[in-house]
């Protein structure tokens, strides 16, 4: 008999699915303290949580027989994925359950902002009747700009079309052809900012997207533009937004998410009547709660009964014996993908993966999944995992092509990746060291031996004397310790590449100083 612990509130519809299986014992124990959960988790095969329960490394280590952790929601921020993976526990989420709720909340915010509904409601309740004060605008014919075109963004586009709104989209990883088939126009971010009457955000928060909408973007917007963010706090620079509202650079904003939640009482955004705010309600509908409960219950049920694993965030499908051999290659592939995903520019149209040596003798599907997962993770964040990576690539018209090489290659056991985009192509090659640790041995035409782990400063420069010393000096001044440095060059005096492993994050100020150093052409901080 499989024992399942549900430690957070879960809709009854989900609980009933699990209780209906005679092979299951389901315990519903909410409000457990961490020490209580740690004490009992050893007796369970599956754990289902929402956001309240924190599944830490300590709890995972105490889980003697745990096979699955299910999160009824999109994010897995409250689950230590590294510890779960090391323990061989599959972490599962429900990426589709709240799509409709969040998309509908976005449209609600657009409508409320357009017709001044919260302000007018407050006025009437205060005993006033100010019809002329709250005159609004129609959505008909207004251009909606959508930043991010995943499940939620594409759903919002469909809703907007019902209001006769032309839709333009910025998503550098969606092809023009896919956009055309969905009836939207793909544009770059600058064109979207300048051309939109409404701008709505549907991308994950990452180092790339932090403060994506800042002062420069507000300066470029129409004075009649309205901004909506129901994605993640931190994508919009709140100080810049407050300034734009104060200076009447835009007509208004509607926010469901914030840098700090709950929103501090001293937030400057609170003083603007044309800034509508809700307390992170995007997924807060009864239907969404039921949907995620049903989705996680069905997924955990099928997994425990051996009927396949869906929406796993950390584990590929592969038999145990093969996995022992493939595990270091799966790790290598993920790190190569994540390394590449942070350097590639433009819309990806094709990924060619060539396997040689030991790895080529096995079914390489889990390795490919791992690589594509790594490649798309910097772009899509938590919405991509080992299971859905190829499907998402297909949705985005990215052709993934595997080649198993039987010819003699430069490196005996290697993975080579060639990425085609509408800008510059990118190629990377990786292998394993003697102790099975991942190494990147070639980037485009430059040979090197980089360690894809932790924080990495990726630097392109002209091959000139003294540059390595200058890099070291700047990092020392910022008290950044160098863990290792790898150099490579196309030819003496030509293009050179440095991969500098550092022990901590590098402040943007230091990165800017590196960029301004003579003969430095490009600098980017990677997190692998």
Q: Which residues are catalytic?
A: 232, 261, 280
Residues in contact with 486: Cβ distance below 8 Å, sequence separation at least 6, in sequence order: 448, 449, 450, 451, 498, 499, 500
Q: How far apart are CA 154 and CA 149, in angstroms?
A: 5
- Orientation of helix 151-162 relative to helix 99-115, angle to 10°: 50
Task: Return the bridge partners of 25, or none.
Answer: 3
Q: Both ends of the chain: CA-CA distance in Å?
A: 40
- Cα separations (Å) of 147 from 159, 215, 372? 15, 17, 22
Instruction: Find where tokens 């991509």 sit.
Output: 384
Please answer whether residues 329 and 365 qualify as being in contact, where contact means their C-beta atoms are separated by less than 8 angstroms.
no
Contact of 171 with 148, CB cutoff 8 Å? yes
Tell me how many degrees the CA angle 400-68-86 measures, rounded to the nearest 5.
70
Cβ distance 439 to 449 under 8 Å?
Answer: yes
Q: How many helices (H) and strands (E) in the chain?
A: 17, 22
Question: Count of CB atoms within 10 A of residue 28's CB?
Answer: 16
Burial of 246 (0-12, 13-18, 19+ CB in 10 A): exposed
């Amino acid at each position: 008999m499989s024992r399942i612990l549900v430690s957070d509130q879960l809709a009854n519809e989900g609980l009933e699915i699990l209780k209906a299986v005679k092979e299951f014992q389901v315990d519903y124990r909410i409000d457990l303290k961490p020490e209580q959960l740690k004490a009992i988790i050893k007796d369970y095969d599956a754990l289902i949580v929402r956001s309240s329960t924190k599944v830490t490394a300590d709890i995972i280590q105490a889980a003697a027989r745990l096979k699955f952790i299910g999160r009824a929601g999109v994010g897995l921020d409250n689950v230590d994925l590294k510890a779960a993976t090391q323990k061989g526990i599959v972490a599962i989420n429900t990426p589709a359950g709240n799509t409709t709720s969040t998309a509908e909340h976005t449209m609600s915010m657009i409508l409320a902002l357009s017709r001044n509904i919260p302000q007018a409601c407050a006025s009437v309740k205060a005993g006033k009747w100010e019809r002329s004060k709250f005159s609004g605008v129609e959505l008909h014919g207004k251009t909606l700009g959508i930043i991010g075109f995943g499940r939620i963004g594409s759903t919002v586009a469909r809703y907007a079309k019902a209001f006769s709104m032309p839709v333009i989209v910025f998503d550098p990883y969606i092809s023009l052809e896919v956009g055309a088939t969905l009836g939207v126009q793909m544009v770059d971010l600058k064109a979207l900012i300048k051309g939109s009457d409404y701008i709505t955000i549907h991308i994950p928060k990452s180092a790339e997207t932090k403060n994506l909408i800042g002062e420069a973007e507000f300066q470029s917007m129409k004075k009649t533009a309205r901004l909506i963010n129901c994605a993640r706090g931190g994508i919009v620079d709140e100080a810049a937004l407050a300034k734009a509202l104060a200076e009447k650079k835009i007509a208004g904003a509607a926010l469901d998410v914030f840098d700090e939640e709950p929103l501090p009482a001293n937030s400057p955004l609170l003083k603007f009547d044309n800034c509508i705010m809700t307390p992170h309600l995007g997924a807060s509908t009864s239907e969404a709660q039921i949907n995620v409960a049903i989705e996680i219950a069905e997924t955990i049920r099928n997994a425990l009964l051996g009927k396949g694993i869906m929406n796993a965030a950390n584990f590929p499908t592969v038999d145990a014996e093969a996995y022992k051999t493939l595990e270091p290659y799966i790790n290598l592939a993920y790190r190569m993908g994540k390394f590449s995903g942070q350097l590639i520019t433009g819309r990806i149209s094709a990924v060619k993966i060539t396997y040689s040596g030991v790895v080529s003798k096995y079914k390489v599907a889990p390795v490919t999944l791992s690589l594509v997962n790594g490649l798309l993770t910097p772009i899509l964040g938590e919405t991509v995992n080992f299971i859905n990576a190829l499907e998402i690539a297909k949705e985005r018209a990215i052709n993934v092509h595997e080649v198993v090489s039987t010819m003699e290659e430069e490196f005996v056991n290697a993975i080579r990746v060639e990425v085609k985009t509408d800008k510059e192509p990118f190629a990377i090659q990786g292998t394993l060291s003697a102790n099975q640790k991942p190494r990147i041995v070639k980037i485009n035409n430059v040979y090197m031996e980089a360690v894809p782990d932790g924080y990495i400063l990726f630097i392109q420069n002209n091959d000139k004397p003294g540059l390595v010393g200058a890099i070291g000096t700047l990092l020392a001044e910022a008290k950044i310790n160098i863990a290792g440095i790898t150099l490579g060059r196309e030819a003496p005096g030509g293009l050179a590449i440095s991969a500098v492993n550092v022990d901590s994050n590098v402040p943007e100020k230091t990165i800017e100083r590196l960029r301004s150093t003579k003969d430095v052409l490009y600098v980017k901080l990677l997190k692998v």
